[in-house]
């Protein structure tokens, strides 16, 4: 147990810092979906050319093969350099689809898709949730029927972030309704240009339409796109989600402390209705201090988790503890922002660029729902860490 | 960077847990003959022989030359059993005596010759360093008393004088209220490292208390049934238990991180200590309150453990700085002017 950076780690941090300083794009990320995708792909290409693409991927697949600790350092430096946030249009490919193909895909799938993801040539979206299957993912009903060399898909997915611009989708469907809830599922790569795929944006409280309903009407997908074999979809999906609950959110965990410093600065220049600077208000100041202490603990938890992973201890359910904590703290932080800003919170148009604080305040409510609600994270902790009896 | 426990550290924890399960299980605190009396001198001796009062001290005073990390691991286990506070006072007093050239005193304390009492705050309407009318805890049989007010560290010789006992919410300690200026001061130094070490040891015990509060309800929720099901199957019980686990995990990891930061004298060590105190207080109090509630009626009885955990948290949380002081340390009220300067 130690907090010392090895000379290698220090050299790595300096290298990352230097590269980021020279390479982070200066222009603001646009909010129109297509322009946003182009921006994200361009940043991915810059990282690829600089040798920084796929930090979490093994070297043999063109990734950087970083250790957990190095990945934490990289994401810390990205946050410090205010680099484009990694939860962007490339996220599903880099942190979901790609890693799943690496573990469960066949050679043809790997050699076709992995380079495209890495080089910033394609974005992916996720097709798991349905109107009747969100927290209860295994209730999904979108059907896939084998017809010769094809799967024919009919049904609907929802909350598909970025579907309107994505090139591919990781799609989880029911191929055998008689094999129980988890038995008859299949994980398949869907080319979003396939005839019969219709994407319908859902406008959210931010005024933007980042998420979508995706409809499938006799969509024909070649069987060669099935990953991990027909009927094995649940275990393939769990390898994806297991990954998500393990290390995919280190970036959020690392960036929270920088966000907090931004809010301390905001409180230092914003006056409350009573004329006092927000930071001079003891209640606000103490809430900020509590958040700083809790965020420090979250960073320590992240370090414990990545150092466990580096010792080949597979990430367990503790990822759910950190996910629950980071999204909860983030929400508390932006509620505090709303309190500090007072009427300025209301000066919001229709996108992030009109008022980033109001925008992030609304997003903080999304993050405790998306990717497994706080309630589902608590269920996982109760089941898998505390060993409490199950009601489900 | 690595925040996982090494094999030796795991065996430190296992050794401490085994000893405490045998000699100081939490159930001991329901034995009325134990209450209102200090720690059994035999147990104090055994603890001293295991080196718990001199974990970080050099061999010249009989210490083990380990680090603050091993020390917090032991004190977390003590927190789990609502362990005697004279051990913490003794460990910090021995550390201060040893650091300031009083080897004989350090050796006497560390070998468990007699317990050390802790001088807590008086009332708040006077100078925090004032000695008039201070609260003392763990006074039974104590030969010395330790006061740490900010960076000022004092050890007093109680000289076998009989102190008039005072009431205390936590019946597992023995208390007095007295004028400390009546006693001989045998060490008086300013040393922030003592406040930091003490703060980490208190954080360790608070973290242990939070874990016990969680463990009590999690085990009970598996066996207590209502409406034909164990209460642990209901989300109204499961979810607060999950929140307790989150708070306990925060307290544990910040404890490790803070101990390493102090041990390495990192530039942000004061922040790390304050953060450890804040999150471990959060775990101890919130978990104790939730644990009492979720137990239902049994949770408020004298016979059950939950109130002991809560009362102990109230006793020790202000030692080496209370939460408000720590929050002021983390975001000072003059932060804007400081940064401008």
Helices A33-49 and A107-119, axial angle in degrees (round to 10): 100
Q: What DSSP letter does each residue of B257-284 carry, written as one string? A: HHHHHHHTT-TTHHHHHHHHHHHHHHHH
pLDDT in tens, B90-127: 999 999 999 999 999 999 999 999 999 999 998 866 78
pLDDT value of residue A87 = 87
Question: How many angstroms separate the CA atoms of A181 and A82, rounded?
Answer: 43
- Asked if A311 lies within 8 A of B4 by C-beta distance, the reply is yes
Sign of CA dihedral B264, B270, B274, B279: negative
Distances (CA, A) of B102 to B96, B250, B320: 9, 37, 22
- Nearest chain B Cα distance for residue A265, angstroms: 8
**The Cα angle at residue B60 between residues B56 and B66, in degrees rounded to 5:** 20
- Asked if A381 lies within 8 A of B4 by C-beta distance, the reply is no
- A-facing residues of B in 67-106 (CB < 8 A) are 69
Minimal CA–CA distance to B294: which of B229, B232, B208? B232
Tell me B164's DSSP state.
P
Helix or strand holding residue B61 (H, E):
none
- Asked if B242 lies within 8 A of A311 by C-beta distance, the reply is no
- Nearest chain A Cα distance for residue B193, angstroms: 19
A-B C-beta contacts closer than 8 Å: 165
- pLDDT-derived band at B204 (thresholds 50, 70, 90) equals very high
- Nearest chain B Cα distance for residue A387, angstroms: 8
Helix H segments across A180-317? 180-183, 233-246, 250-267, 282-310
Chain B residues near residue A390 by CB distance under 8 angstroms: 233
Which residue in chain B is spatially nearest to A294 when comparing CA positions? Answer: B279
Q: What mean pLDDT do residues B45-55 have?
A: 97
pLDDT in tens, A330-384: 999 999 999 999 999 999 998 888 999 999 999 999 999 998 899 999 999 999 9
Burial of B39-51, coded b for 16+ CB within 10 Å and e otherwise, reads beeeebeebbebb
> What is this model's ipTM?
0.95
- Nearest chain A Cα distance for residue B335, angstroms: 8
Q: For chain B, what is the mean pLDDT? A: 95
Chain A residues near residue B251 by CB distance under 8 angstroms: 297
- pLDDT-derived band at B340 (thresholds 50, 70, 90) equals low
- B-facing residues of A in 303-342 (CB < 8 A) are 303-304, 307-308, 310-311, 313, 318, 321, 324-325
| Residue pair B216/B291 in contact by the 8 Å Cβ criterion | yes
- Nearest chain B Cα distance for residue A240, angstroms: 23
Tell me A368's DSSP state.
T
Report yes or no: B239 at the A interface, CB cutoff 8 Å: yes
Report yes or no: A136 at the B interface, CB cutoff 8 Å: no
Residues of A belonging to the active site: 244
- Residue A1 exposed, middle or buried by CB count within 10 Å (0-12, 13-18, 19+): buried
- B-facing residues of A in 225-284 (CB < 8 A) are 264, 268, 277, 279-280, 282
pLDDT value of residue B161 = 82
Q: Where are the beta strands (DSSP E) in chain B?
A: 116-119, 134-137, 144-149, 152-157, 165-166, 175-178, 184-190, 225-226, 229-230
pLDDT in tens, B129-167: 899 889 999 999 999 999 999 999 999 999 878 898 999
State whether residue B127 is helix, strand or coil.
coil
Token duo for residue B215: 């463990």
Report the residue of A382, A384, A385, A387 to disrupt the B interface, i.e. the one with the largest count of B CBs within 10 Å. A382
pLDDT value of residue A246 = 61
pLDDT value of residue B335 = 83
- A-facing residues of B in 282-311 (CB < 8 A) are 282
Minimal CA–CA distance to A378: which of A323, A311, A305? A323
Sequence-distant (6+) residues with CB within 8 A of B171 are B35, B36, B311
- Nearest chain A Cα distance for residue B6, angstroms: 6
Distances (CA, A) of B138 to B47, B155, B182, B319: 16, 14, 18, 14
The rounded percent of chain B whose pLDDT value lies above 70 is: 98
Question: How many angstroms separate the CA atoms of B26 and B28, rounded?
Answer: 5
pLDDT value of residue A392 = 73
Q: Which residue has the tokens 């589902």?
A: A376
pLDDT, one tens digit for every residue, chain A (392 residues): 899 888 998 999 999 999 999 999 999 899 889 999 999 999 999 999 999 998 889 999 999 988 888 999 999 999 999 999 888 999 999 999 999 999 999 999 999 999 999 999 999 999 999 999 988 999 999 999 999 999 999 999 999 999 999 999 999 999 999 999 999 999 999 999 999 999 999 999 999 998 999 999 999 999 999 999 999 999 999 887 766 656 678 888 889 999 999 999 999 999 999 999 999 999 999 999 999 999 999 999 999 998 888 887 666 788 899 999 999 999 999 999 999 999 999 999 988 889 999 999 999 999 999 988 999 999 999 999 999 999 77
Q: Which residue of A304, A382, A389 is in closest CB contact with B3?
A: A304
Chain A residues near residue B271 by CB distance under 8 angstroms: 296
- pLDDT-derived band at B338 (thresholds 50, 70, 90) equals confident
- Asked if B333 lies within 8 A of A5 by C-beta distance, the reply is no
pLDDT value of residue A314 = 66
- A-facing residues of B in 33-72 (CB < 8 A) are 69
- pLDDT-derived band at B79 (thresholds 50, 70, 90) equals very high
Helix H segments across B224-268? 235-263
Report yes or no: A205 at the B interface, CB cutoff 8 Å: no
Token duo for residue B160: 């076998």
Q: Where are the beta strands (DSSP E) in A175-233?
A: 185-191, 197-202, 211-222, 226-227
Q: Which residue of B1, B6, B69 is in closest CB contact with A303?
A: B1
Token duo for residue B127: 């100078």
Tell me A179's DSSP state.
S
| Residue pair A288/A336 in contact by the 8 Å Cβ criterion | yes
Q: Which residue of B5, B232, B331 is in closest CB contact with A288?
A: B331
Helix or strand holding residue A142 (H, E):
none
- Asked if A3 lies within 8 A of B333 by C-beta distance, the reply is no
- Nearest chain B Cα distance for residue A342, angstroms: 20
Helix H segments across chain A? 7-23, 33-49, 68-80, 91, 98-104, 107-119, 180-183, 233-246, 250-267, 282-310, 318-341, 356-367, 374-380
Give yes or no for residue B36 having a pLDDT over 60.
Answer: yes
- Asked if A388 lies within 8 A of B232 by C-beta distance, the reply is yes
- Asked if A298 lies within 8 A of B235 by C-beta distance, the reply is no
- Asked if B279 lies within 8 A of A385 by C-beta distance, the reply is no
Helices B68-80 and B86-99, axial angle in degrees (round to 10): 160
- Asked if A379 lies within 8 A of B266 by C-beta distance, the reply is no
pLDDT in tens, B255-271: 999 999 999 999 999 99
pLDDT value of residue B321 = 95
Question: How many angstroms separate the CA atoms of B238 and B282, rounded?
Answer: 19
- Asked if A1 lies within 8 A of B9 by C-beta distance, the reply is yes
Tell me A381's DSSP state.
I
Q: Which residue has the tokens 């983390």?
A: B330
State whether residue B291 is helix, strand or coil.
helix
| Residue pair B56/B184 in contact by the 8 Å Cβ criterion | no
Question: How many angstroms separate the CA atoms of A300 and A385, rounded?
Answer: 19
What pTM was estimated for this model as a whole?
Answer: 0.95
Chain A residues near residue B253 by CB distance under 8 angstroms: 297, 300-301, 303-304
- Asked if B3 lies within 8 A of A387 by C-beta distance, the reply is no
């Amino acid at each position: 147990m130690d907090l010392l950076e090895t000379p290698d780690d220090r050299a790595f941090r300096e290298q990352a810092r230097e590269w980021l300083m020279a390479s982070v794009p200066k222009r603001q990320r646009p909010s129109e979906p297509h322009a946003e995708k182009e921006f994200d792909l361009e940043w991915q290409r810059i990282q690829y050319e600089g040798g920084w693409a796929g930090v979490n991927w093994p070297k043999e697949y063109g990734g950087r093969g970083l250790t957990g600790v190095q990945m934490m350092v990289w994401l810390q430096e990205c946050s410090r350099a205010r680099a484009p946030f990694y939860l962007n249009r490339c996220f599903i490919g880099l942190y979901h689809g790609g890693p799943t193909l690496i573990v469960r895909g066949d050679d043809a799938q790997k050699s076709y898709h992995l380079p495209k993801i890495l080089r910033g040539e394609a974005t992916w979206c996720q097709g798991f949730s349905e109107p009747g299957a969100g927290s209860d993912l295994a209730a999904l009903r979108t059907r896939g029927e084998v017809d010769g060399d094809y799967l024919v898909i009919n049904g609907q997915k929802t909350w598909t972030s970025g579907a309107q611009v994505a090139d591919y989708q990781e799609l989880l469907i029911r191929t055998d309704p008689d094999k129980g809830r988890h038995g008859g599922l299949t994980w398949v790569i869907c080319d979003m240009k396939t005839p019969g795929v219709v994407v319908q944006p859902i406008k959210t409280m931010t005024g933007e339409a980042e998420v979508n309903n995706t409809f499938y009407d006799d969509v024909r997908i070649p069987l060669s796109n099935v990953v991990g074999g027909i009927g094995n979809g649940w275990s393939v999906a769990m390898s994806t989600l297991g990954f998500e609950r393990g290390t995919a959110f280190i970036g959020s965990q690392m960036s929270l402390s920088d966000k907090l410093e931004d809010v301390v600065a905001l409180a230092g220049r914003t006056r409350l209705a009573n004329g006092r600077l927000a930071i001079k208000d003891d209640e606000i100041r103490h809430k900020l201090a509590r958040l700083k202490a809790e965020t420090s603990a979250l960073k320590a938890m992240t370090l414990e988790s990545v150092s466990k992973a580096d010792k080949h201890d597979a990430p367990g359910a503790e990822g759910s503890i950190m996910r629950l904590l980071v999204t909860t703290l983030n929400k508390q932080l932006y509620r505090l922002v709303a309190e500090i800003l007072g009427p300025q919170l209301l000066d919001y148009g229709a996108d992030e660029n009109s008022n980033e604080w109001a925008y992030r305040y609304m997003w903080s409510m999304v993050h405790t729902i998306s990717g497994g609600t706080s309630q589902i994270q608590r269920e996982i902790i109760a089941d898998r860490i505390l060993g409490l009896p199950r009601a489900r | 960077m690595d925040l996982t426990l090494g094999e030796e550290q795991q065996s430190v924890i296992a050794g401490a847990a085994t000893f405490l399960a045998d000699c100081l299980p939490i159930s001991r605190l329901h034995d009325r003959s134990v209450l209102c009396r200090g720690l059994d001198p035999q147990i104090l001796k055994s603890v001293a022989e295991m080196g718990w009062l001199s974990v970080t001290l050099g061999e010249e005073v009989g210490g083990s030359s380990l680090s603050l990390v091993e020390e917090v691991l032991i004190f977390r286990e003590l927190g789990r059993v609502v362990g005697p506070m004279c051990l913490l006072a003794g460990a910090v007093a021995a550390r201060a005596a040893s650091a300031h050239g009083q080897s004989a005193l350090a050796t006497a304390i560390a070998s468990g010759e007699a317990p050390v009492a802790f001088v807590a705050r008086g009332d708040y309407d006077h100078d925090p360093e004032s000695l008039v009318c201070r609260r003392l805890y763990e006074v039974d049989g104590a030969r010395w008393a330790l006061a740490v007010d900010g960076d000022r560290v004092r050890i007093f010789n109680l000289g076998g004088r009989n102190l008039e006992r005072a009431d205390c919410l936590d019946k597992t300690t023995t208390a007095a209220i007295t004028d400390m200026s009546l006693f001989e001061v045998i060490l008086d130094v300013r040393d922030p490292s003592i406040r930091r070490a003490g703060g980490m040891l208190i954080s360790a015990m608070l973290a242990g208390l939070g874990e016990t509060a969680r463990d009590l309800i999690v085990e009970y929720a598996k066996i207590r049934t209502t409406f034909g099901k164990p209460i642990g199957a209901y989300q109204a019980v499961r979810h607060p238990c999950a929140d307790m686990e989150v708070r306990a995990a925060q307290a544990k990891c910040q404890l490790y991180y803070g101990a390493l930061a102090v041990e390495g004298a990192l530039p942000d060590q004061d922040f790390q200590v304050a953060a450890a105190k804040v999150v471990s207080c959060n775990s101890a109090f919130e978990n104790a309150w939730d644990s009492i509630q979720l137990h239902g009626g049994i949770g408020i009885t004298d016979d059950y453990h939950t109130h002991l955990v809560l009362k102990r948290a109230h006793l020790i949380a202000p030692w080496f700085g209370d939460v408000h002081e720590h929050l002021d340390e983390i975001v000072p009220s003059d932060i804007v002017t400081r940064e401008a300067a």
